[in-house]
Structure 1
Amino acid sequence: MSLASQSFAEKVEPREGAGNEGVKRFKAPYLIYFGDIELTGYAKTGLGLIEWRRNLCIGQYRTPQCSIDSGLPDMTIEEAVQAGVGSFVIGVAPAGGYIPDRWLQDLVKAARAGLDIISGMHARLTDFPEIVEAALASGARLFDVRTPPADLPLGTGAKRTGKRLLTVGTDCAVGKKYTALAIEKEMQARRWKADFRATGQTGVMIAGAGFAIDCVVADFLSGAAELISPAADDDHWDVIEGQGALSHPSFAGVSLGLLHGSQPDALVLCHDPTRVYNLGTERKQPYPLHSLQETIEANLLMARRVNPDARFVGMSVNTSQLPLSEKPALFERLSAETGLPVIDPIKDGAKLIVDRIEKEFLL
């Protein structure tokens, strides 16, 4: 058995036909591990996986100290093995991305039972000899989702066949992943050829393919984005998960690399109307968000460097922190300001945006 921590370079391979056939690498179904986490924000990996791939998730594993309840049945590792679980997924992402010592006995037990371990943490599973030993003994595989491939190409900017949509934002953590997934869902409901292309660790777990692009060395960002969305049928859409924001002083680099490498035909602007400053800058040096028009213009300038026909087709707004009564007026104002259809991907789905894509590209 080959145990070395497996990156996801090999998870993005040439398509077979129109869809994602042949690129899935995780062994389903999954047992989601929440450990002893108490804050919902730290459980976004597992909750996101359950939200979008519920059919693959069979149960949750929690310690008595855990206050997160995803609604899945609680299972022991023994029960999971009997139920045919294939993978033990670390469903949490605490600050710092470390794996605390108190989790090791659970991870070792799962690996010893033959369950693959899937982790999106900054800490590597293979840094823990006891986990490695247990996996070697049972034949379990260890997947470190945040390990980038070692042989990424430089971006070329060469035109590729197929269509691509990239979600971009006024800030980081404004719903780019959920927006892309909602668009993929709506496209597939219309029987379009469409695939969600993951660029972050939670997205990789949802898609079963891709890699965390923010771990890639800067010179290879655009090449990584080209690899994630290779040439396809002319009527196939890659719906690419965006990262960061061009205006964010910390994360603009990965956003630009994705814009150039994705070569998007269509862009969707993601926004949180409750934000005033770029996330994480509030205390030391606050950076006000750019306006919607500034964000649109900056992204179009960079996108049109590699695709002169790039255009915005919609706006996605996270309204989770707003009173429901404020939503209609807000959406009317934002649509008038941008000229774009506006959705909340969780509450509304992506019908209006896909309607716009159909009008712009198919009719």
Structure 2
Amino acid sequence: MVEGPFLLYLGDKSNPLDVKTSRGLATFRSNDCIGEFREDSCPLTLGLPRMDVTQAVAAGARSLVLGIATSGGRIEEAMVPHILAALDADLDVVSGLHQRLDADPRIVERAKANARRLIDVRLAPRDLRVGTGQRRPGRRLLTVGTDCAVGKMYTSLALVAGMHERGMAARFRATGQTGVLIAGEGIVIDSVIADFISGAAEALSPAREDGGWDVIEGQGSLFNPSFAGVSLGLLHGAQPDALVLCHDPSRPHMRGLAHMPVPDLAICMAENLRCVRLTSPEAQFVGVSINGSQMDPAKASDLRARIEDELGLPCIDPVATGTGPILERIAARFPS
């Protein structure tokens, strides 16, 4: 596990989705987050004290976490002076970006000079095998989405928390950089070579005999042409018994793809079932989870009721309603 306390890097980002890794840590590892580093031009905040690296070290920070999304997952030139300053201040640097920290010789040189660690979360295990589709014991739930960044990780974590409250054995299985940082373990699936994605999902959630659940964090969407490949690999390798569809009703089109509309929920569910049944013939949906944070509460409540009527499934917002209705359906459909 990456050790806290953390200074969370927001930089100059203005889109809330671009800081979701930092936000995820602030939400689910709040005790380890002591401050946020942001430029004067950054309008976002996580509600943490604003600090520079020197102030963060004085407050006890051990790592600067680059919890942002950038174009192409690259280390932006404007970030480099802040990374170097963090290393000079005796902070380790943790990154979830696609470009590795050691790809920049300036960063490598400074880390060596200060005997600090460079930690790239997006490093796939070297011993992965291709998937086989062989059935294995244990119960598994996979969150899937109408698009990327619609709440699959949040829903997965909320479901695990709800299972624990009910005395159920459950583990969160992280597949994204934010989830791995929160859980302290997992496989960042988009760092895996395509042929090994389903095998990585099988390795991430091995056989278990205790009657408990592995709740696997989904990625992308079958309907997003940028990320459909990783979604399909997870469906086949996770071999889920249960699926939960995640959806952001405020989004008019796929993120960053104005020419691609968000799919109808029923159509999205049908396609996920068609694909997953290659390796999980009995898989079924147990609910829908919406992100209603951008909606009027009354309208969000009406939408959840309408989705329940149309699909015959419980529809929750894990923040507004909790996960109880989905957990009740799981208990009814999959008695221990």
TM-score, normalisation: structure 2: 0.92
Q: Secondary structure at the match of 1:73?
A: coil
Label 1:78 to 1:248 Cα distance change in 2 as closer, same or farther (>3 A).
closer
Residue 29 of structure 1, CA deviation:
1.7
Residue 276 of structure 1, CA deviation:
4.5
Q: Secondary structure at the match of 2:7?
A: strand
For 2:252 and 2:37, how far apart are their aligned partners in 1?
A: 38
Residue 170 of structure 1, CA deviation:
2.0
Residue 118 of structure 1, CA deviation:
0.8
* Contact 2:70–2:76 (Cα < 8 Å) also in 1: no
Matches within 5 A, 1:343-354: 343-354=316-327
Matches within 5 A, 1:296-307: 296-307=269-280
- Name the structure 2 match of 1:13: none
- Name the structure 2 match of 1:243: 219
* Partner deviation per Cα, 1:140-167 (whole Å, 9 max, x = no partner): 2212222333332100112222221100
Unaligned runs of 5+ in 1: 1-24
Residue 251 of structure 1, CA deviation:
1.9
Q: 1:334 aligns with which of 280, 299, 307?
A: 307
Residue 97 of structure 1, CA deviation:
2.2
For 2:11 and 2:58, how far apart are their aligned partners in 1?
A: 21
- Name the structure 1 match of 2:288: 315
Label 1:362 to 1:168 Cα distance change in 2 as closer, same or farther (>3 A).
same
- Name the structure 2 match of 1:291: 264
For 1:64 and 1:51, how far apart are their aligned partners in 2?
A: 23
Q: Tell which deviates more after alignment, 109-118 or 348-357.
A: 109-118
In the alignment, structure 1 residue 55 sits paired with structure 2 residue 31: yes
Q: Tell which deviates more after alignment, 343-352 or 144-153.
A: 144-153
For 1:83 and 1:279, how far apart are their aligned partners in 2?
A: 37
- Name the structure 2 match of 1:325: 298
Q: Secondary structure at the match of 1:187?
A: helix
- Residues matched between the structures, number: 336
* Partner deviation per Cα, 1:174-217 (whole Å, 9 max, x = no partner): 22111111111211222322222111222222222223212322
For 2:98 and 2:138, how far apart are their aligned partners in 1?
A: 33
- Name the structure 1 match of 2:138: 162
* Contact 1:153–1:220 (Cα < 8 Å) also in 2: yes
* Contact 2:247–2:290 (Cα < 8 Å) also in 1: yes
- Name the structure 2 match of 1:205: 181
For 1:174 and 1:360, how far apart are their aligned partners in 2?
A: 26
- Name the structure 2 match of 1:70: 46
4+ residue runs over 4 A deviation = none
Work out the percentage of aligned pairs sharing the same amino acid.
51
Q: Tell which deviates more after alignment, 161-170 or 72-81.
A: 72-81
Q: 1:273 aligns with which of 246, 249, 252?
A: 249
For 1:205 and 1:312, how far apart are their aligned partners in 2?
A: 28
- Name the structure 2 match of 1:150: 126
Residue 264 of structure 1, CA deviation:
0.5
For 1:65 and 1:266, how far apart are their aligned partners in 2?
A: 44
